[in-house]
Amino acid sequence: MSGKVVWHDLNTSDPAKAKAFYGELFGWEVRSREMGSTKHEFLYMGEEGFGCLAKLDKKSQAPPHWLAYVHVDDLDAAVTRVRRLGGSAPVPRMAITDKDAFAVLLDPLGAAFAAYETANPLPPGYPKQGPGLFCWEELATTDPKRALGFYGEVFGWTHETMRMPMGEYSILKSGDAGVGGIAQMPAGAVASPHWISYIATDDVDRTAAKAVKLGAKPFVPATDIPNIGRFSVQADPQGAVFALYAPKS
């Protein structure tokens, strides 16, 4: 189904250390595969492949980061919509195989994301949900209203807005399924608008503490979301930011 988040890439300054960190924290495995003349490092949780790990180009000024991919039926049309609505396409189209391609995009406020097109049908129930797998995407932005309009047109996402302790929070939906949320960045925030990918865990406190022992930097300690669940935001030892989440039991 178009509009689902189906893949995550980790672009890191030290792939070996990143493998060790995430492998110890979540039990992820990295499996190498030759694609053409290039070797790619794929991330697996058991038999579920969900992303890639890549070394940042030395010429790149980007810091280590996670990048989420949204499935679209027509990649070129999605890129056209992004540009028409004030976004940009640093990588407008790149073929993976003769049946797969992606684009790296920026929304009008500067948050990065990717779109993915494939001629192959996605497996039923993909991507799977469960501990150690990605479960949510969250955009922190300076203009939630503009962001809601932008992503609604680009991906067909609808939304519902609710009051939270930190202010209004908009739930993004692809069909009936929740995809992520959009929140206002605090006044005076140093960071630019950005997406954060959430990883499910059975115990946020235990996983967050383990991440810190493995060298992560905590940005938001384990915190309750009233009547919803518990979360924490971390940066891995190389600086890539991710979040942990467990629903209220």
pLDDT in tens, 205-247: 999 999 999 999 999 999 999 889 999 999 999 999 999 999 9
Distance of CA 66 to the CA centre of its chain: 6
Residue numbers of the chain with a pLDDT score lower than 50: none
pLDDT for position 167: 80
Alpha-carbon gap, residue 211 to 144, rounded angstroms: 30
Among 3.30.70.1230, 3.40.50.300, 3.30.430.20, 3.10.180.10, what is the CATH number of 1-249?
Answer: 3.10.180.10
Distances (CA, A) of 214 to 16, 79, 189, 237: 14, 39, 27, 8
Looking at residue 36, its pLDDT comes to 62
Assess contact for 100 and 119: CB atoms under 8 A: yes
Q: What is the predicted pLDDT for the residue at 37?
A: 63
Tell me which amino acid residue 115 is: A
Nearest partner of 65 among 26, 21, 113, judged by Cα: 113
What pLDDT score does 38 carry? Answer: 72
Alpha-helical (H) ranges within 66-127 are: 75-84
What pLDDT, on the 0 to 100 scale, is given for residue 190?
80
Look at residue 107 in the predicted model and tell me its pLDDT: 98
At residue 133, the pLDDT reads 97
Query: What local confidence, expressed as pLDDT, does residue 163 receive?
Result: 83
